[in-house]
Structure 1
Amino acid sequence: MIWEVFRQEKTGGYHTHCGNVHAPDREMAQQYAAIQHGRRKPTNSIWVVPRDEIGEINDDEVAFGGTTDRSYRWATAYNTTGEDASEVVESEDEQADAEKRRGEA
């Protein structure tokens, strides 16, 4: 029987898959996992799970949430029509006039 092994490096950390072991029962699988996967790197705990007991859900079966579109945060996400907003044009004209008056004074 094949047993999948997940290792946690530090307390509170995630368990990550680190391999598998072949063993006839749970007790032997735990011993093999401790020897093969627990002694080479810092290890806080090990999960040993029968491969048959691991379920998988993929995106064909369920529509996962995905990521939220945050493209509005980037200027490149906006389409420009080539026309500036009237407020921008008025402001630019006012600033240009103010610069001219400063230069004349």
Structure 2
Amino acid sequence: MIWEVFRQAKTGEYHTHCGNVHAPDREMAKQFAAIQHGRRKPTNSLWVVPREEIGEVGSDEVAFGGTTDKSYRWATAYNTTGTDAREVVESEDEQATAEKQRGDD
């Protein structure tokens, strides 16, 4: 039986896949994982999971995020030249003129 092994280097970090072991049962798989994958690098914990218990959700089954255009979130998506700057200056001038007319100087 094949067991997939996931290693956590430090407390609070994610477990990442580091390999697999061949073992007849869970206890042997844990021992083999500790020997093969836990002693070479700093290790806080190991997850040992039967390969057939791991499920996959593919993009053919579910539409994952990232399909919507959200380029407006990045400054590089804006054109900094053109009429936009002129409109801002004109608006500021209009606001200053209105304040003078109200006597807000």
TM over 0.5: yes
Residues 10-89 of structure 1 mapped to structure 2, 5 A cutoff: 10-66=10-66, 69-72=69-72, 73-74=74-75, 76-78=77-79, 84=83, 88=86
Aligned-pair CA distance for 1:65: 1.6
Q: What is the total number of aligned residue pairs between the two structures?
A: 87
Rg (Cα) greater in structure: 1
Structure-1-length-normalised TM-score: 0.70
Question: What percentage of aligned pairs have identical amino acids?
Answer: 75
> Residues 75 and 23 from structure 1, CA distance in 2 versus in 1: closer, same or farther, beyond 3 angstroms?
closer
User: 1:97: which partner in 2?
Assistant: none
**Runs of 4+ deviating beyond 6 Å:** none
Aligned-pair CA distance for 1:46: 0.2
Structure-2-length-normalised TM-score: 0.70
Amino acid at match of 1:7: R
- Supply the distance in 1 between the matched residues of 2:47 and 2:76 (Cα, whole angstroms): 47
Please give the root-mean-square deviation of Cα atoms over the aligned residues, in Å.
2.6
Structure 1 segments unaligned to the other structure (5+ residues): 93-105
Aligned-pair CA distance for 1:71: 2.0
Amino acid at match of 2:10: K
User: 2:98: which partner in 1?
Assistant: none
User: 2:101: which partner in 1?
Assistant: none
Residues 89-104 of structure 1 mapped to structure 2, 5 A cutoff: none
